[in-house]
Structure 1
Amino acid sequence: MNQPISPPAQRITALDALRGFALGGIFIVNIMVMSKPGGFSDGPAHSLVTALCYDKFYVLFSFLFGYSLTMQFRSAERANANPRARTVRRCLMLMAIGLLHITFLFTGDVLFGYGVAGLALLALSRLRPKTALIVAAVPFTVSLITITAMNMLHADPSMSAAERATALAAMRSGWLDAASYRWDVFAGNAHVFLMFGLFNALPMFLIGMVAGKARLLEQPERYLPLLPRVQWIGFTIAAPICALAAVTDWPLAGPAHLVAPLLSAAYAATILRLLQRYSVVQRIFAPAGKIAATNYIGQSLIAAVIFTGYGFALAGKLAEWAVLGLAVTIYAGQLAVSAWYVRGHRYGPIEWVLRAATYGTLRPAHTETHSAATS
């Protein structure tokens, strides 16, 4: 039986703008692997992305996921529906979309891990804020210790030359061969996807959940006074450590992982402050954030056409700086298309599927105007 749909609620502009902003950094990190198996070689382009983007934007995206969960719970309460059942269905659909994404487009998918971590977050959703923050510290600490140990032991997780050659041939092959290769990679590394969800995404989910329960981003007067300090800590302490780690070997990988969320917070603080001063920031980023899942899958689809046998098979053929320029161009195009799209559509295609799974009913993906959009 179809579940009741909650009444419309006003969107939180800050959430949409932050999601839209994070999409750019996520794509810049992902395109390093989308364009060439094993990612960029050591050099200026790799160092720049590592210092500014790597481990920064998925942190922000994960925080926002946790925040959004609390809004979904409120929505269920308004509709007298079961919030836990809704969340389970949403997470299962995320995992299903993630598996399709992995198989047909990009092995670096995060949606599968988000679905797993979302189920874990649901199990922990009744924790008190202070307890939730303590629990968040546990998997993050495990991740930090693991990265530090691997760095101290000089463990090299990168692909061998033979593995790169096999992956490159698969990327340039037909869709069936490429899909088979990607599935084999996932099946052999499923534990990695699970570990990403539980040890990297879940801590940020929990922090976002705490902020969401406090409705922090819904009350600018509460967070605006804190933002200059967040920027100072992120840009003067975290940024130099991340930059040094990007160009230096042992022993800075552990500290860089530790402070990366601080730099991510500084980025978010900057966007939030700009939102209060310049309305154009909202117009640029918020539309893309409203259909963030569609844009995320869209990035992989566009990259697949460019780099794999689905299209031009340019994997490994473009200079790394050209790849970064291409990423910025595609992202700018997404921002423009998103601004046009949301004027006549309430949800993106992927958001429509997720909403249908969450609510157990079908809803039109168009014909509703921007002003009628809901959280």
Structure 2
Amino acid sequence: MSRVREIDAIRAFALLGILLANIGYLADPAHIALGALPEVDNPVGFAVSALVLTKFYVIFAFLFGYSFTLQMRSWGEDRVRARMLRRCLALLVLGLLHGFLLWFGDILTLYAVLGVVLLPMRNIRPRTAVIVGSCLIGFLTLVWAALGWLTSLDPTAATTSATMPAADPAAGARAVHLVTDGPLGFLTFQAENYPPYALFVWAFQGPTALALFLYGLAAGRSRLLERRERWEHLIPRVQWTGFLVGLPGAVFFAWASGRPDEFALYGLAVNTVTSLFLSAAFVATLLRVLRRFPALIDVLGPAGRMTASNYVGQSVLVALVFTGYGLGLAGRLAPPAAMGVAVAIYTLLLWLSSRWLRSHRHGPIEYGLRVVTLGTGRRTPVNPS
């Protein structure tokens, strides 16, 4: 089976969004003392919260489920279980190393566990997968909305939180100091922050990720992205619907994220649903651009073929710029400059991916995952995912 090059390009596009969402945490670690969501008191932070935060993990999770169907076809039903379990174990180990050494917001451990959950559901009918995924999204939306309503019933708590200091300056200063105080200081910061943030990622993104895995599984079993005639005519409708529903929800989410009351929870409820629409609109727009400028697939495709290597590579380069592993620029760059660094890192990784694949069949991390997954280092047919 040949590769679906549009899927590689979408993966690479998602990597850019993930980098833009993540870089602010290490560029300004002081605000980590506030909690899990970034500050929105500046135009860049507001734009990232509205247009980037959670939207690109939605795309990433959808493609994980879609790629699982491609892997099943490549491996054969009799090998799927053993190979998927080995792959998830390798992802779990890689994620733990990534989380403790480089990026406390690692997503690989969550994907590893949810991959095991997805395994017994692999033969689910597409319609059933969509229904189950939608129920998960609906349940999570109701949970956030209910928490917001319960918070509104206690005006004293809302008033208290509104009059509390926005941040602890000492905690913020300590975070910046640890991140920039050489490798040992940064490792101390990681050890303190990775466990609680891992729990946050699992609680905040876990149900949504599983729902998107199921949506991707349904799309993959229907071969949606592999049959151009099945999605080309849908692109304008997906764009209009996605942007009309997704953009207002995104703006509300970003506005609400900066509030200390129940609206922050209402914003999470709205975003749980509308982020799916906006993400779909982004993908539809990208497919439309790729159709008009097919040369972009050659630019984006190599990074999409090396997703894991680029995901970890982003963390390595961000750490070298902002932490004690390298230049230690955390807390020194304004948000627009940090976004400029993100674009530079992304451009560099696009170039490195293209160069690497001129002489290698797989990215370095992909090769390691492949060896563990297949249980052999011998040459085997190319995995189309």
Q: TM-score, normalised by structure 1?
A: 0.89
CA distance in 1 between partners of 2:383 and 2:208 (Å): 31
Amino-acid identity (%): 40
* Pairwise CA distance, 1:335: 1.7
Quote the residue 1:226 is aligned against: 234
* Pairwise CA distance, 1:151: 4.7
* Pairwise CA distance, 1:293: 0.9
CA distance in 1 between partners of 2:369 and 2:306 (Å): 11
**Is the aligned partner of 1:19 residue 2:18?**
no
* Pairwise CA distance, 1:144: 2.0
Write out aligned runs for 1:1-375 (5 A): 9-37=1-29, 38=32, 39-40=38-39, 42-77=41-76, 81-151=78-148, 153=151, 160-196=168-204, 198-248=206-256, 249=259, 250=263, 251-362=266-377, 374-375=384-385
Q: Which amino acid aligns with 1:21?
A: F
CA distance in 2 between partners of 1:52 and 1:121 (Å): 28
Counterpart contact for 2:104–2:197, Cα < 8 Å: no
Quickly say closer, same or farther: Cα 1:207–1:97, change in 2 above 3 A: same
Unaligned runs of 5+ in 2: 33-37, 152-157
Quote the residue 1:6 is aligned against: none
Quickly say closer, same or farther: Cα 1:313–1:20, change in 2 above 3 A: same
CA distance in 1 between partners of 2:374 and 2:92 (Å): 17
Quickly say closer, same or farther: Cα 1:306–1:190, change in 2 above 3 A: closer
* Pairwise CA distance, 1:146: 3.6
> C-alpha deviations, 1:162-206, integer Å up to 9, x for none?
443332222112323432432333334543343345312111001
Counterpart contact for 1:98–1:109, Cα < 8 Å: yes
Counterpart contact for 2:40–2:49, Cα < 8 Å: no
Which protein has the bigger helix share?
A: 2
Counterpart contact for 1:103–1:180, Cα < 8 Å: no
CA distance in 2 between partners of 1:159 and 1:96 (Å): 34
Aligned alpha-carbon RMSD (Å): 2.4
**More deviation, 130-139/201-210:** 130-139
Quickly say closer, same or farther: Cα 1:302–1:189, change in 2 above 3 A: closer
Q: Which amino acid aligns with 2:294?
A: S
Quickly say closer, same or farther: Cα 1:353–1:238, change in 2 above 3 A: same
* Pairwise CA distance, 1:85: 0.9
**More deviation, 138-147/326-335:** 138-147
CA distance in 2 between partners of 1:346 and 1:355 (Å): 11
Secondary structure of the residue aligned to 1:218 is coil
CA distance in 2 between partners of 1:103 and 1:71 (Å): 31
Q: TM-score, normalised by structure 2?
A: 0.86
Secondary structure of the residue aligned to 2:106 is coil
Counterpart contact for 1:104–1:175, Cα < 8 Å: no
> C-alpha deviations, 1:105-161, integer Å up to 9, x for none?
0101111111111111113222222222222123323332343345553689x9744
CA distance in 1 between partners of 2:379 and 2:328 (Å): 36
Quote the residue 1:5 is aligned against: none
Counterpart contact for 1:32–1:40, Cα < 8 Å: no
- The count of aligned residue pairs is 359
CA distance in 2 between partners of 1:12 and 1:106 (Å): 30
CA distance in 1 between partners of 2:8 and 2:123 (Å): 26
